[in-house]
């Protein structure tokens, strides 16, 4: 059986070293925050200018000026800090963020990611993704393995406009965990009951 979104989030957390700094992208990766144990002492960074995100606020503690990059209300933990966008992206570009978790439209065997536009159809914009993939020490892409039309989002080469070239370290999908390297996706783990044959385009896997 494929992993649920919550199970994917837990698999992502397994990849984190304790006491590391982590940036979680808009959408699916935001879910990861819900499952991070306080014991890991992880500092969650949000690029709109906060390090030390705790989670969701209590109803009585909601503040319109306390949000994450997904524009959702948040709470912070002791030890958190606020800063401007330039310093925030300095943390990213300067290599101070240990992990970023981003959503994806396509990832390829050359470690490239596409996740910001579909020409002629949809433009979400890159937001901070282009900085995150070039600056974070480990880039994790979290996405469904197949798109709605059934085609694999893991490709030999991305067809959509790129977010970054040669930047992706790990891909966590509902089917398993994959590492693009040397022209193939190395299968690190499969969800229980999933076989390599279920991945369809077998030639891109090792």
CB of 2 to another protein, least distance (A): 26
Q: Are 106 and 162 in contact (CB under 8 A)?
A: no
Q: With CB under 8 A, what is the number of residues at the site for another protein? A: 52
Q: Which of 19, 35, 83, 201 binds another protein (CB under 8 A)?
A: 83
Q: Which of 123, 151, 157, 183 binds another protein (CB under 8 A)?
A: 123
Choosing from 47, 182, 186, 201, which is the catalytic residue? 47
Give the helix/strand (H/E) hosting 85.
Answer: helix 85-93
Q: Which of 5, 6, 55, 147 binds another protein (CB under 8 A)?
A: 55
Q: Does 15 bind another protein (CB under 8 A)?
A: no
The burial class, CB within 10 Å (0-12 / 13-18 / 19+), for 149 is exposed
Q: Which of 20, 73, 156, 181 binds another protein (CB under 8 A)?
A: 73
Tokens 């992993």 locate to 3
Task: Tell me how far CA of residue 58 lies from CA of 63, 65, 70, 73, in angstroms.
Answer: 10, 15, 18, 10
CB of 91 to another protein, least distance (A): 10
Q: Show the tokens assigned to 133.
A: 């993939």
For the four alpha carbons of 119, 139, 83 and 68, in that order, the dihedral sign comes to: positive
Q: Which of 20, 40, 57, 184 binds another protein (CB under 8 A)?
A: 57
17 is catalytic: no
CA dist., res. 179 & res. 9, Å (int): 17
Q: Which is nearer to another protein, 13 or 129 (CB)?
A: 129
Binding mask 151-170 for another protein (x = CB under 8 A): ----------xxxxxx----
CA count, 13 A, side-chain hemisphere, 100: 27
CA angle, corner 9, sides to 139 and 197, nearest 5?
A: 80
Active site residues: 47
Which residues lie near another protein (CB under 8 A)? 26, 46-50, 55-59, 62-67, 69-75, 82-86, 88-89, 92-93, 112, 122-131, 134-135, 161-166
């Amino acid at each position: 059986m494929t992993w649920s979104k919550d199970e994917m989030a837990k698999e992502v957390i397994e990849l984190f070293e304790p006491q590391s700094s982590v940036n979680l992208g808009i959408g699916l990766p935001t879910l990861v925050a819900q499952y991070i144990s306080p014991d890991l002492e992880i500092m969650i960074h949000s690029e709109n200018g906060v390090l030390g995100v705790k989670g969701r606020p209590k109803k009585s503690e909601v503040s319109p000026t306390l949000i994450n990059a997904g524009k959702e209300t948040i709470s912070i933990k002791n030890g958190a800090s606020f800063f401007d966008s330039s310093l925030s992206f300095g943390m990213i570009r300067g290599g101070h963020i240990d992990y970023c978790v981003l959503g994806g439209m396509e990832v390829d065997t050359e470690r490239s990611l596409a996740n910001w536009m579909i020409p002629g159809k949809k433009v979400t914009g890159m937001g901070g993704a282009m900085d995150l993939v070039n600056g974070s020490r480990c880039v994790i892409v979290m996405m469904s393995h197949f798109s709605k039309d059934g085609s694999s989002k893991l490709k030999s080469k991305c067809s959509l406009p790129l977010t970054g070239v040669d930047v992706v370290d790990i891909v966590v999908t509902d089917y398993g965990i994959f590492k693009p390297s040397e022209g193939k996706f190395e299968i690190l783990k499969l969800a229980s009951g999933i076989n390599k044959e279920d991945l369809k385009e077998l030639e891109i896997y090792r």
